[in-house]
Structure 1
Amino acid sequence: MLDDFFVRAMLAGVGVALAAAPLGCFVVWRRMAYFGDATAHVTILGVALSLALGMSVFYGALAVALVMALVVSNLTGRGYAMDTMLGVMAHSALAFGLVAVSFLSGVRLDLMAYLFGDILAVGKGDLAVIWGGAALVVALMAWRWQALLTATLNPDLAWASGIDPKREQMVLTLALAVVVAVAIKVVGALLIVALLIIPAASARVLSRDPETMAVGTAVIGVASAMAGLWVSLQYDTPAGPSIVCAAACFFAASATFGRFSLRH
């Protein structure tokens, strides 16, 4: 079954959607979209370093994303605003990554695949990395779910309950780095955040509690992956962008339904 490239693509899309679902909820609740975008951008530098060192792209992207998050966390509040540091780190790392790629001699690199994804080229090894990363993220988020919710809703209450909001922020940072590293093969560095935010934003309109929103986000994410791949197969469109377009259509439908429900 895994010898069929389309089956592998579907499994990869489902794996990334499941990993992105609980994390995407917190990205929306905490308004961390720009942070996620910056994390995704720096992975291009990780790709270049991985190829130069002959190591897996996953580990290079993960390492660079974690370093970026630690640097931003340490420098924020020392004369620099968070959005300023994210902007500097994201665009600098993206530029250095693109320049570094040009120096790699003897390495064939489809840069568009890393920018916009190449899910149809996912192999069995990639599937193992994607599902391993997805299992890690889902387990981590399930373990810290209540603490993360408390820290997100009321930092003062979190402190009173013995929960360190900064520690929970680092948990989110770690999970975000893992999701970005596993998703780069599926939707690419420039579209990862769309897969994090759009399904969560769609489910938010239809949900009454955080857990329902997380489940709804997973369902919409998986449906977006399936629909996008079907459109890509039927009409020969780019797979990664097609998945994001499908997610955008679900968002439009949920927003319309939510507005209609409010009127009635």
Structure 2
Amino acid sequence: MLDDFMARAVLAGLGLVLATGPLGCFVVWRRMAYFGDSIAHAAILGVAISFAFGVSVYLGTLGVALAMALVVTTLAGRGHSMDTLLGVMAHSALAFGLVTASFVPGLRTDLSAFLFGDILAVGRGDLAWIWGGSLAVLALLVWRWQRLVSATVNEELAMSSGIDPRFERLVLALALALVVALAIRIVGALLISALLIVPAAAARGLTRTPEAMALAASAIGAFSVVAGLAASLRLDTPAGPSIVVAAAICFAVGSLLRRG
């Protein structure tokens, strides 16, 4: 089955939504969408560095994404305005990445695959990275779940219970960096935030507990992967954007059902 490129694409997408579902819920609750964009844009610099030094794209992207997450988290704790800081970091990182990529032979023609994703080109080695990384993120979120939820709902109450909100923010930042590194081959740097936010936003109005929302977000994400790939195969449309479009339709339908 793994010799079929479409089967590998489905497996890659399903592996990714294991992590993006619950993690996307925290992105929505904490209004971290711009934070995710900043790390995703920085991932292009990681791609360029990976090609320049001949290392794994996942390792290069993960290194730069982790550095970006740590820098933003550190500077935000020193009184910098978060939205301004993220705006500067996001656009600067993307610009540095594109300029660096222009000096790497052969990367210019492949750059669109990392900007918009190329899930149909996923290989067996990619599947191992995606599933291994997603399961690691999922395990981390399950381990820290109650603390993360408490710090998200009320930081003062969490501190009175012995929870350090700054550490929990760092945990989320590191998990987000890992997911960005995994997702760049599937939906690309420009669409990663959409895969995190849209399924979680669609699940928000359909559930009543944080755990139910996380499960629903993963389910909507899985449906979006299958539906988007099916539409891409039938209509000859880009696979990554088609997955996001399927998720957006789920959000629209969910919104109509809630109003009804």
Place the TM-score, normalised by the shorter chain, in its bin. over 0.9
Q: Which moved more, 1:78-87 or 1:246-255?
A: 78-87
Letter of the structure 1 residue corresponding to residue 256 of structure 2: T
Matched, 1:55 2:55: yes
Give the distance between the partners of 1:163 and 1:93, measured in 2 at CA: 32
Give the distance between the partners of 1:72 and 1:173, measured in 2 at CA: 9
**Offset, 1:19:** 1.2
Change (3 A) 1:245 1:105: same
Give the distance between the partners of 1:252 and 1:79, measured in 2 at CA: 37
Gaps of 5+ in 1: none
Letter of the structure 2 residue corresponding to residue 150 of structure 1: S
Alignment RMSD (CA, Å): 1.1
Aligned length: 260
Matched, 1:64 2:64: yes
Q: Give the fraction of aligned pairs with identical amino acids, expressed as a percent.
A: 65
Superposition pairs of residues 1-264 of structure 1, within 5 angstroms: 1-78=1-78, 80-105=80-105, 109-260=109-260
Contact 2:102 2:108 in 1 (8 A): no
Superposition TM-score, scaled by structure 2 size: 0.98
Give the distance between the partners of 2:25 and 2:118, measured in 1 at CA: 25
**Offset, 1:109:** 4.4
Q: Which moved more, 1:78-87 or 1:243-252?
A: 78-87
**Offset, 1:106:** 5.3
Q: Which moved more, 1:74-83 or 1:128-137?
A: 74-83
Structure 1 stretches of 4+ with a deviation exceeding 3 A read 106-109
Secondary structure of 2:105's counterpart equals coil
Give the distance between the partners of 1:107 and 1:197, measured in 2 at CA: 29
Letter of the structure 1 residue corresponding to residue 118 of structure 2: D
Secondary structure of 1:206's counterpart equals coil
Letter of the structure 2 residue corresponding to residue 250 of structure 1: C
Give the distance between the partners of 1:40 and 1:214, measured in 2 at CA: 22
Give the distance between the partners of 1:250 and 1:195, measured in 2 at CA: 12
Give the distance between the partners of 1:16 and 1:169, measured in 2 at CA: 21
Superposition TM-score, scaled by structure 1 size: 0.96
